[in-house]
Amino acid sequence: MPNVIAAPELLWAAANNLAAIGSALTEGDCWRWSHQWGPSERMRLSWGSS
Protein backbone atom coordinates (compact mmCIF):
# COMPACT_ATOMS: atom_id res chain seq x y z
CA MET A 1 0.00 0.00 0.00
CA PRO A 2 2.90 2.48 -0.41
CA ASN A 3 1.02 4.31 -3.16
CA VAL A 4 -1.85 5.06 -0.77
CA ILE A 5 0.67 6.67 1.61
CA ALA A 6 2.60 8.52 -1.10
CA ALA A 7 -0.44 10.14 -2.72
CA PRO A 8 -1.28 12.53 0.18
CA GLU A 9 2.41 13.42 0.50
CA LEU A 10 2.56 14.30 -3.20
CA LEU A 11 -0.61 16.37 -2.88
CA TRP A 12 0.87 18.17 0.13
CA ALA A 13 4.07 18.92 -1.83
CA ALA A 14 1.99 20.22 -4.74
CA ALA A 15 -0.03 22.41 -2.37
CA ASN A 16 3.18 23.82 -0.92
CA ASN A 17 4.45 24.59 -4.42
CA LEU A 18 1.21 26.38 -5.27
CA ALA A 19 1.45 28.33 -2.02
CA ALA A 20 4.97 29.43 -2.96
CA ILE A 21 3.74 30.51 -6.40
CA GLY A 22 0.79 32.31 -4.82
CA SER A 23 3.04 34.23 -2.44
CA ALA A 24 4.97 35.58 -5.43
CA LEU A 25 1.77 36.91 -7.03
CA THR A 26 -0.26 39.93 -6.02
CA GLU A 27 -2.29 39.74 -2.82
CA GLY A 28 -5.53 39.21 -4.76
CA ASP A 29 -4.07 36.36 -6.79
CA CYS A 30 -2.63 34.83 -3.62
CA TRP A 31 -6.10 34.86 -2.07
CA ARG A 32 -7.54 33.04 -5.08
CA TRP A 33 -4.77 30.42 -5.04
CA SER A 34 -5.17 29.89 -1.31
CA HIS A 35 -8.96 29.79 -0.97
CA GLN A 36 -10.44 28.59 -4.27
CA TRP A 37 -9.29 25.13 -5.34
CA GLY A 38 -12.12 24.10 -7.71
CA PRO A 39 -11.09 22.82 -11.18
CA SER A 40 -13.03 25.63 -12.86
CA GLU A 41 -11.19 28.18 -10.73
CA ARG A 42 -7.82 26.69 -11.68
CA MET A 43 -8.91 26.81 -15.33
CA ARG A 44 -9.89 30.48 -14.95
CA LEU A 45 -6.55 31.29 -13.32
CA SER A 46 -4.57 29.53 -16.06
CA TRP A 47 -6.55 31.40 -18.73
CA GLY A 48 -5.98 34.69 -16.93
CA SER A 49 -2.23 34.18 -16.55
CA SER A 50 -1.67 33.07 -20.16
Residue 35 confidence (pLDDT): 58
Burial class (CB in 10 A: 0-12, 13-18, 19+), 18: middle
What is the pLDDT, as a whole number, of residue 50?
Answer: 47
What's the confidence (pLDDT) of residue 44? Answer: 62
Region 34-39: what's the mean pLDDT?
56
Task: Kindly report, residue by residue over 4-32, the tens digit of the pLDDT.
Answer: 666 778 888 888 888 777 666 655 555 55
Q: How many domains does the chain have?
A: 1
Give pLDDT, residue 10: 82
Which domain range does residue 41 map to? Answer: 2-49
Question: Is the CB of residue 19 less than 8 Å from the CB of residue 34?
Answer: yes
Sign of the CA dihedral 18, 20, 21, 22?
Answer: positive
- pLDDT at residue 20, rounded to an integer: 76
